[in-house]
Structure 1
Amino acid sequence: MQLDMAADELKSVLNRLRRAQGQIAGVIRMIEEGRDCEDVVTQLAAASRALDRAGFSIIATGLEQCLAEEGRTAADKDRMRARLEKLFLSLA
């Protein structure tokens, strides 16, 4: 399954991933500086949420494309749905 995202969806996912990348860099810095545990965990949770939201957005796009494609058999759609469900649950 190849992901074909619209420009606005792609931009949104990339922004989330870049935000998570910055947050993870911040967590590393905070740990190296010996910052308060609560602050570190709060920042780590924010990075985790950003990654989850990017993943959910990608899966939602894939599901939407899968269901919209014509010419697929019911069995093909069921297999694709099962694969996407497995991906979704891996993030949950």
Structure 2
Amino acid sequence: MSRTSAPPSSPATCPPTSARYRSEHQRDVVNRLKRIEGQVRALIEMVEAGRPCEDVAQQMSAARKAMDKAFFRMMACSVMESVAVADDQTLREVERSTRILEKYA
């Protein structure tokens, strides 16, 4: 199983209350979770095949990081919905902050 990163998610630039934003966001999170599901299945196969612990640990780390990113993506949606009534400048700052969290958290 190769360590690949998820494709870059589109920044939360759509109006946070729009149905389109929610639908795109939900699809993104579901796709991330499906990739994680595949990583976990591959991990099980690695353990059952007796692969070296370091190889398994590396892939576990990748799956854990992917889960963290899915979590932060989901939380970004929650934050964007919370500031839906904010002015444009505040909204841009929140979007910027959520992108930083998703990228580096």
Q: Please confirm whether the aligned pair reaches a TM-score higher than 0.5, indicating the same fold.
A: yes
User: Shift in Å at residue 54 of structure 1?
Assistant: 0.8
- Gaps of at least 5 residues in structure 2 are 1-18, 87-100
| Equivalent residues in 2 for 1:15-34, closer than 5 Å | 15-34=31-50
2:27 maps to a residue whose letter is K
- Gaps of at least 5 residues in structure 1 are 71-87
Bigger-Rg structure (1/2)? 1
Quote the Cα distance in structure 1 between the aligned partners of 2:24 and 2:83.
20
1:16-46 deviation per Cα after TM superposition (whole angstroms, max 9, x unaligned): 1011111011111111110011110111111
Match of 2:81 in 1: 65
Q: Does 1:37 align with 2:16?
A: no
Greater helix share, structure number: 1
Quote the Cα distance in structure 1 between the aligned partners of 2:48 and 2:29.
29
55-64 or 4-13, which moves further after superposition? Answer: 4-13
Match of 2:98 in 1: none
2:70 maps to a residue whose letter is A
Quote the Cα distance in structure 1 between the aligned partners of 2:64 and 2:48.
19
Q: Does 1:10 align with 2:19?
A: no
For the aligned residue pairs, the C-alpha RMSD in angstroms reads 2.1
User: Shift in Å at residue 50 of structure 1?
Assistant: 1.2
> TM-score normalised to the size of structure 1?
0.65
Quote the Cα distance in structure 2 between the aligned partners of 1:47 and 1:28.
12
SS in 2 for 1:27: helix
Quote the Cα distance in structure 1 between the aligned partners of 2:22 and 2:75.
14
> TM-score normalised to the size of structure 2?
0.58
Quote the Cα distance in structure 1 between the aligned partners of 2:23 and 2:84.
18
Percent identity of equivalent pairs: 38
